[in-house]
Structure 1
Amino acid sequence: MRGLMQLFAAYGNFLLFGLLELIALILVVNFNERQGLIWDNSWGMATAGLDQSADWLGEQWALRDELIRLQGENIRLMEQLDNARYSNAVRQDTFLRDSTEQLFSYIPANVISNSTISTTNFLRLDKGSNQGVMPNMGVISTDGIVGVVRAVTPHYSQVMSLLHRQTRIKAAIASSRYFGTLTWDGKSSRYMQLEAIPKHAILEAGDTVVTSGFSQLFPEGLRVGVVEQYDLSGGGNFYNIQVKLRNDLNTVRYVYIIKNEMWKEHKELEEAVNE
């Protein structure tokens, strides 16, 4: 009670003014037809706006739930593909004993920042070490490859974009299986360069470029883009190949981080060789 009295003592004049304003508004609206119509119209517009905002928020939550559901479904399907599984097939006598185990699994993430206008572009994702993300994991979207994780915190990860001067991605011509390295020249965000394809390789504009599978970052056969143009200028032994990316990194919003379930085993082999 003492606190209430102190409140009235401190703000009594303001509360009295507000009460009198409310009474005046009620009297004006109830006893003046024109003002009453204006009030009804204004109140109707305000409630309609609130209803519209509530509907929009409801739709956004529904879309978010649907996105999460679709991401989960995509992961389930991608993890069932042959390129995401390791085959234990062994031929014994005339019988082929075949079984597979998971090689690649996927972590869904949202892009919370992205750059495409620098020569050293990065993306930031809303998943980190708490969700199992580690440096040197590949990142893809439903349209193609996006980049490679370079640093993580408990809740976030920093991804070196394909549009980075240090990018090196193992890729191949799908039709001939000749493989090389994808790099970026720092110019267009829609094109990369495929290096080390020998001049005796059969090549045509429109050929599909895919991941080669010769790294632990990406499964084999993920579509990267198509050969836009190529030449043998300079008299070298390798083509100069311009690849148009399938993925437009200016619009990427939702991605999947690739986890190689046998990464530790590959690491142990590298360390054993280096010793």
Structure 2
Amino acid sequence: MRGLLQLFAAYGNFLLFGFLELLALILVVSFNQRQGAIWDNSWGMATAALDQSADWLGEQWALRDELIKLQGENIRLMEQLDNARYSNAVRQDTFLKDSTEQLFSYIPANVISNSTIGTANYLRLDKGSNHGVRPNMGVVSSDGIVGVVRAVTPHYSQVMSLLHRETRIKAALSNSGYFGTLTWNGKNARLMQLEAIPKHAVVAEGDTVVTSGYSQLFPYGLPVGTVKSFDFSGGGNFYNIQVMLRNDLNKLRYVYVIENEMWKEHKELDEAVNE
């Protein structure tokens, strides 16, 4: 009771003002037809807006559940592709005994921050070591490759984007099979450079560029982009090839981190060679 009296003593004037304003509003609406109609119309619009907002929130929640289901289905389909499996083919007499086992699997993630300005761009994902993400894992989206994981915490991971001056991705021309190194010169967020393609290779504008498979990061054949232009300027024995990326990294939202199931064997070989 004492606390209530203290409340009235401190805010009595404000409460009285609010009560009188409410009373005046009720009297105006109740005894004036025009103002009453305006009130009814305004109240109806307000409740309709609230209902619309509630429906929108419900739809967003349903879309989130649907997205999770679609990510799971995409992972299942990608893991069934031939380039996600290790093939152990052994020829015995005239028969080919073939067995396959899973080589690449996928971890879905959401992009929570992304930069495409400057020459050293990164993405941050909402998946980390608790979800199986490790440094030096490839990252892709449904439209193509995205980058490489460089650092992880239990719940997050930092990805070096394709749009980084240190990016070096093995990529190939799908028509001819010639492969080189994909780099970025820091100028156009949709253009990368494919280096080390020899001049005797047949190259044409519109040729498809894919991952070469010559790394532990990406399976063979993942889409990268298409040849936009090429020339021989600067001398040397290699083309200067401009590649238009299939993936628009400016609007990236959902990605997949690629898990190489045999990464430990590659690590053992690397350590043995470097001894």
Q: TM-score, normalised by structure 2?
A: 0.93
- Rounded to whole Å, the distance in 2 between the matches of 1:142 and 1:176 is 24
Could you say what secondary structure the match of 1:265 adopts? Answer: helix
- TM-score after normalising by structure 1: 0.93
| Correspondence list, 1:8-87, <5 A | 10-87=10-87
Superposition deviation, residue 19 in structure 1: 3.8
Q: Secondary structure at the match of 2:230?
A: strand
User: Displacement of 1:100 after TM fit?
Assistant: 1.5
Instruction: Give the corresponding residue for 1:243.
Output: 243
Residue 172 of structure 1: aligned partner: 172
Distance 2:229 2:9 in 1: 82
d(CA) in 2 for partners of 1:5, 1:234: 87
* SS, match of residue 170 in structure 2: strand
Asked whether 1:130 is paired with 2:139, we answer no
- Whole-angstrom CA distance in 2 between matches of 1:18 and 1:183: 66
Supply the distance in 2 between the matched residues of 1:201 and 1:144 (Cα, whole angstroms): 24
State the Cα deviation string for residues 45-91 of structure 1 (Å, max 9, x = none).
Answer: 11111111111111211221121111111111101100011113323
* Structure 1 match to 2:103: 103
The more displaced of 59-68 and 257-266 is: 59-68
In structure 2, the residue matched to 1:228 is: 228
Distance 1:191 1:42 in 2: 53
CA separation in 2, counterparts of 1:95 and 1:243?
42
Instruction: Give the C-alpha shift of residue 10 in structure 1.
Output: 4.8
How far did residue 15 of structure 1 move? 4.1
Matches within 5 A, 1:84-233: 84-233=84-233
Which residue in 1 is equivalent to 2:269? Answer: 269
- Structure 1 CA distance, aligned partners of 2:147 and 2:235? 32
Residue 99 of structure 1: CA displacement?
2.2
AA aligned to 1:249 is: L
Could you list the runs of 5+ residues in structure 1 that have no partner in the other structure?
A: none
Secondary structure of the 2:249 match is coil
DSSP-derived class of the 1:204 partner: coil
> Quick one: distance in 2 between partners of 1:221 and 1:120?
26
Looking at structure 2, the residues matched to 255 and 129 of structure 1 have their Cα atoms a distance apart, in angstroms, of 16
What is the deviation of 1:111?
1.4
- Number of paired residues? 275
Q: Which deviates more from structure 2 when the two are superposed, residues 10-19 or residues 181-190?
A: 10-19
Distance 2:191 2:170 in 1: 16
1:192 and 1:82 mapped to 2: Cα distance?
Answer: 27
Gaps of 5+ in 2: none
| CA distance in structure 2 between the aligned counterparts of 1:56 and 1:97, rounded to whole angstroms | 56
